[in-house]
Amino acid sequence: MKVTLGSAPDSWGVWFAADPKQTPWQRFLDEVSAVGYRWIELGPFGYLPTDHAVLSKELERRQLRISGSLVMFPFEQSDAWQKWAAEVERTCAAVEGVGGKYLVLIDGLYSDLATGRALAPADLDGAGWTQLLNTTARIADVAEKHRLTPVLHPHAESHIEYESQVERFLLEADPRIGLCLDIGHHAYRGGDPIALLRRHHARIPYLHLKNVDREVQKLVEEEHKTFAEAVAMDVFVEPSRGAVDFTLLRDVLEEVEYDGFGIVEQDMYPAAPDKPLPIATRTYRYLRDLGFGQ
């Protein structure tokens, strides 16, 4: 296997372009580089400098490179493309401008991150699903123009969160769109990420690496907590400490001769300033010892 190891602003508590609770971008770059990572995601557009020259200089002096970035909005809405096409274009241009290769697609959540208030039905009707497929195909058009590979990230509290929905998307979506398999999210919604990897490894060039704490997950389900509340309760944990066996994951990656990215993306919003670095350091050493990033 060849897993190109990296990290993401999410692992430093970053969910938004600007938020006083978040790690400043300079500190994120300094710390992620100091840990030993050489690849990162851009995170939310506007968190890192959007001027290509400025960002390239900041990355170069820390020996960092960009794997890709993300777009996240409600793909199923009838006017989604009209509202978000410009953001898709600028994000793709930003990724291409600094040499990135991947665009991660995340359907907008059906509940509000801050309040848990319902923003949309949890399940789509036929028209909504068709619109979601159409929107992701249009995103793929823009990504292709910028020489990026689009990958769909199944995400808790989005309309592609459960294994059955992932399987349906892979069957019906534009075949140009691969999968960003998030180990923690898939396990959080009751799926088996290792089995899914075995079945669909040809469509999975990109991984998000984190684990899930089953005891916290059980409490989340019993108390009907929202995704944001679950994250604040530390339902997602570092790879060495959760329910998914990362040694077995490594073995399956070797079995299928995986050749792609493995980006550590451990949700922890909000995060105290001194929380991310020790976790990132332990995670990097653990994954390197397993053979990731060799």
Residues 174-230 have pLDDT tens digits of: 999 999 999 999 999 999 999 999 999 999 999 999 999 999 999 999 999 999 999
Say whether the peptide bond before residue 270 is cis (omega within 30 degrees of 0): yes
Sort strands 211-212 and 236-237 into parallel, antiparallel or unpaired: antiparallel
The arithmetic mean of pLDDT across residues 103-108, rounded, is 99
Mean pLDDT for all residues in the chain: 97
186 touches 163 (CB < 8 A): yes
| Amino acid (one-letter) located at 153 | H
Measured CA to CA, the distance from residue 238 to residue 249 in angstroms comes to: 14
- The pair of structure tokens assigned to 150 is 């689009």
Q: How far apart are CA 42 and CA 65, in angstroms?
A: 10
Closest C-alpha among 264, 255, 260, 257 to residue 286: 264
Q: What is the pLDDT of residue 236?
A: 98
| pLDDT computed for residue 117 by the predictor | 87
pLDDT tier for residue 115 given thresholds of 50, 70 and 90? confident
pLDDT in tens, 221-234: 999 999 999 999 99
DSSP 89-136: HHHHHHHHHTT--EEEEEEPPSB-TTT--B-S-SS--HHHHHHHHHHH
Q: Give per-residue pLDDT as tens, 134-155.
A: 999 999 999 999 999 999 999 9
Class in CATH terms, 2-290? alpha beta
Q: What percent of the chain has pLDDT over 90?
A: 97
160 SS3 class:
coil
Could you say which DSSP state residue 294 is in?
Answer: -
pTM: 0.98
Q: What are the residue boundaries of the structural domains of the chain, listed by start?
A: 2-290
Contacts of 121 (CB under 8 A, 6+ apart): 110
Q: Which amino acid, one-letter code, is at 233?
A: M
CA-to-CA distance for 93 and 145, rounded, in angstroms? 9
Question: Residue 92's closest CA among 144, 39, 38?
Answer: 144
Q: What is the mean pLDDT of residues 246-271?
A: 98
pLDDT at site 294? 67
Task: Give the tens place of pLDDT for each residue, 29-79.
Answer: 999 999 999 999 999 999 999 999 999 999 999 999 999 999 999 999 999
